[in-house]
Amino acid sequence: KLTILQKRQTSPGLSLFAGGVAGGVEAATTYPFEFAKTRSQLGSNSPGQTSIWHLVRNVLKTEGISGLYTGCSTLVVGTAFKAGVRFLTFDTIKHALADENGKVSPGRAVLAGSLAGCVESIVAVTPTERLKTALIDDSNSQKRFKGSFHAARVLVAEKGIGNLYRGLATTTVKQAATSAVRMGSYTVLRDASKANSIPQNTLTTFLTGAMAGVITVYSTQPFDTVKTRAQSAAGAGTIEAMLSILRDRGVFGFWAGSTMRLGRLVLSGGIVFSVYENIINIFS
């Protein structure tokens, strides 16, 4: 079976396509978790004052089921694009770092994942995350955006194209850390399962990706929380975002939204790696 660490037989075009499809499926499936996580991070309540589930019930009551999908189309397109870029970049860098037998050490897998995260942040993640976050924040306050394209026009008209790259530094750090931990831990876990003669099937891939998601959430959540505050509708600098989190919620505020992000990344890790590897197998 072809795996993500055996790329000599996988063309860049196929890697980009498979990653894009996997990212789009994952984003559409798990978006309500992302919505609830973002709303939680944008709030100023003390930790535990308003639960995630209360937030979700309130949105369903006041905005209906469609409220949980505010900004979804932006994230689906952005996630499909960024996942394609991530896998293409990861595969290319990993292949360059592989030894003569095509093997990649855990450290080199982490490095490849980190560099892939930096590339995807600049190329795709920052502008789509900025739009998604601004739309979710706006839907809970001024309601001045009519949709993704309208939001993009308004933000660019107000402060130029740079407004879509608000939070670039925090997003790049977050993506580099997330991709490094996610791809690196997946590689280590997958190799461990093979070493212990665990059957390499879709279920194994899903569970391995899910475990990598758990590790990723708790090790990188502070980057995600700062990034979200920086990309709110009003926008904020990195230091300003960090200080506002400390002021509103204290140190534990940096882990705001962990529950919803955990729900998303556990499913996300399982879905994205399973879909990716299955597409690679089919077209190879």
**Domains defined along the chain, listed by start:** 170-283 (1.50.40.10)
Cα radius of gyration rounded to whole Å, the chain: 19
Structure token pair of residue 13: 């075009």
Per-residue pLDDT in tens (0 to 9) along the chain, 284 residues: 444 444 445 788 898 999 999 989 988 888 887 777 777 777 655 444 456 677 778 888 887 887 788 778 877 887 888 889 988 998 889 888 888 777 888 888 889 989 998 998 888 888 888 888 888 778 777 778 887 788 889 889 988 988 888 878 878 988 898 889 988 898 889 888 988 989 889 899 999 999 998 888 888 888 888 887 877 766 677 788 888 888 888 888 888 878 777 877 788 888 988 999 899 988 87
How far is C-alpha 239 from the chain's CA centre?
22
d(CA 93, CA 84): 14
pTM for this model (two decimals): 0.65
SS3 64: coil
- Go through 242-272 and write b for each residue having 16 or more CB atoms within 10 A of its CB, e for each that does not: bebbeeebeeebbbbbbbbbbbbbbbbbbbb
